[in-house]
Structure 1
C-alpha cells in the first residue's frame, strides 16, 4: 500500500518517530543533528516523500535562510548570468535564493520587495532600476531589511554597493579607440533609466578631453529597457541624417551597440577595421551576445564573477553582524578591454 500523504511537519514527526524540534533543527541545518539521526530523517523523507513548506516555516522565525535577489530584467542575459553566479554563492553559504525580476517596471520592483517581506528574508541583493525607481519606498525597505545594491548605484541606498568602476573602464576603451583610430563619439539614450549611463557619459567627456579631443554626444530618444530596438531605430536615424562627426562610435552599453550594428548593416555600412570599413563600433559590459554579433563587438568586460561574489559576501557579513554597517560601503571593480572585430 502507498504510504499516507504527510501534510505538515507534525505529521512527519509522528510517523518518523523523531521529535518535532529535532526535525526542525535538521531542516534549518542538517549538520546540526547527529549523523545517525540525520540518516534516519533522510530515510523517512524518502519513504514518505515529504518536503516541508519552507515558506510557512519561515513565518515562525525571526531570521530565515531566504536571500532575495531582485534584478531589473531577467530576460536580459547580462542580469540572468550575474544572478546565476549570485545564486551559486547564496546556495554555497547555506541560504535559499529567491530570484525576482522587475521587468523594467518600478511598481513591480516595489511589489517584489514587499512580497519578499512576507517571507522574512535574511537579506536582499538588489540591482535597482535606477532613475525610475521609487527611491523613497526603496529606502524604507532598506531600513528594515539588510540590503546590498549591485550593478546600479542609487546614492545612500542600502548598506553597501558593488559594481564596476565606470571611470576606469570608459577611460580604458576611449584611450584604445583614440590610439587605434579616430576619437569616438558617445552614443547614449537621452534620458537613461540606468544610473551607470550617466556615469559613463561623464567618464567619456572627462577621458576624451584629457586626451585633447572634443567630446561628441549622439543622443537617442527612447524609454525603457528595449535597448537593441532603440539602438537600431535611433542609429538608423543618425546614419540617414549623415549626423556622424567621426567614424568611431562608443556606445553606452553593448545592447545599444548591437542595435547600432544592425542599423549599419541595413544601411550598407561595413563595420570594423581595415580597408572598406566605414565605421568602428564599441560597447561596454561584454554582454553575453557581444561575442556573436557580426562583426564581433569590441567592448569592456565587467567582472561578473567578482561583482557577484563580493555582493554576496558583503550581504552575508551584514547578516552576521546583526546590525547595519557603521557607514555605507562601496566596492568598484575594474573593467577589462576586449578587442574584437568591430573596432
Structure 2
C-alpha cells in the first residue's frame, strides 16, 4: 500500500494513469469497463487505499440534477433576490433547484442540512447563518455533500466561497462621504446576525486610519433579523439623547438605515444633501427597497448577477470534478457605489 494520500477522483486518476471519465464510469458500474481496465483500477484502489466520496460514486449528474439552495432568512429581500437569481441560473443550467430558509435559527439550519444529506443532491449552494451556525454540523455536511458557500464565509468550510468584497463596499462609501463632507460615524448592531457586519466595521476603522480621521462606532442593542426595527429603536434613543457625534451616518446595512430614516422622520430630522438637512445617511447592500425610501438611500451595491453566475458556475465545476476540488477557492466581487438623495 502506498503512503500517498489520495483526496479525490482527479488525484486518483493522475496516480493510476487512467482517465477520470473511465474511473467515474467504473464507480457507477464496474461491468461497464473492459476487464483489463477494471483490473488496473482495482489494483490501483488497493495500492492507494482510495475510496471515493459517496456523491462522487452515486450522484453523477446523469442520476440526479437536484440542487439545494439554503439561505439564512428568506424574508430579507436581499436573500430573496439572490435566491431568485440562483434558482433561475440553476434551471438554465439544467438543474432542479429546491430552496430552503433557516429563518435565522440554528436548529432549523441543522435540520435542513440533515434533510438535504438524505436527499443526496448533486450539490448545494449554502449561505450559512454565520456566527449562529453550528460549525461542526456545517463542516460535516460539507464533507458529505458537494457544497459552495455564498454571502457568508466560514473559513475552511466547503469546497469554495463566492461573495462580495466587504472592504470594497466600505472603502467606497467612506471615501465618498469624507470627500463631500464631514467624517462619518458607523452605525451597527452590537451583536450582528451576519458576520459580514464585523468585516464592514473593521473596514471602516481601517479606512478612517488611512485617512487620518477619528472613527466613531455607534453600537445599538438588538439581536436577530428584525434589522429595520432594531435600527429605528436604536436611532430614536440616540436622537433623544442628543444625536450622533457627526452629521453623517454610515450604516452597516440598508435595513438598519431604513430604520434610522424612520426614526429621523419621527423626530423631525431632515435627511439629505440639500439646504436645511440635519443629517446625511449612507449604507451598504443596495437593498431592493433602498431606492424607494424617502429620501432614496445612497448605498454600495452587490453585483447580484456576478455572484449568482459565479456561484452556479463554481458548483457546476465542483459536480463535474466529482464533488471535490484540489484546493478550496474564494471569489469576491467588488461593490458599486450608488449615489442617491440621502447622502
- The TM-score bracket by the shorter chain reads 0.7 to 0.9
Give the SS at the match of 1:116.
Answer: helix
Is 1:188 the counterpart of 2:202? The answer is no
Write out aligned runs for 1:36-115 (5 A). 63-115=63-115
TM-score for the superposition, normalised by structure 2: 0.81
Is 1:317 the counterpart of 2:317? The answer is yes
Give the aligned length.
286
Q: Give the Cα separation in 2 of the matches to 1:302 and 1:61.
A: 31
**Conservation of the 8 A alpha-carbon contact between 1:63 and 1:120:** no
Equivalent residue number for residue 286 of structure 2: 286
Shift of 1:169: 1.6
Equivalent residue number for residue 136 of structure 2: 136
**Conservation of the 8 A alpha-carbon contact between 1:284 and 1:299:** yes
Q: Encode CA deviations 1:26-59: one digit per residue, 9 max, x unaligned.
A: xxxxxxxxxxxxxxxxxxxxxxxxxxxxxxxx99
Q: Give the Cα separation in 1 of the matches to 2:146 and 2:59.
A: 18
| RMSD value, Cα | 1.6
Give the SS at the match of 1:219.
Answer: strand
Q: Encode CA deviations 1:234-264: one digit per residue, 9 max, x unaligned.
A: 0111111114110000000000000000001
Equivalent residue number for residue 30 of structure 1: none
Q: Give the Cα separation in 1 of the matches to 2:63 and 2:141.
A: 16
Shift of 1:217: 0.4
Q: Encode CA deviations 1:122-149: one digit per residue, 9 max, x unaligned.
A: 1000011111101110000000000001
**Conservation of the 8 A alpha-carbon contact between 1:154 and 1:195:** no
Q: Give the Cα separation in 2 of the matches to 1:267 and 1:253.
A: 22
Q: Give the Cα separation in 1 of the matches to 2:129 and 2:243.
A: 31
Is 1:328 the counterpart of 2:333? The answer is no
Shift of 1:78: 0.8
4+ residue stretches of structure 1 with deviation over 2 A? 58-63
Shift of 1:62: 9.3
Shift of 1:211: 1.1
Equivalent residue number for residue 251 of structure 2: 251
What are the ranges of 5 or more consecutive residues in structure 1 without an aligned counterpart? 1-57
Shift of 1:157: 1.1
Q: Give the Cα separation in 1 of the matches to 2:118 and 2:64.
A: 11
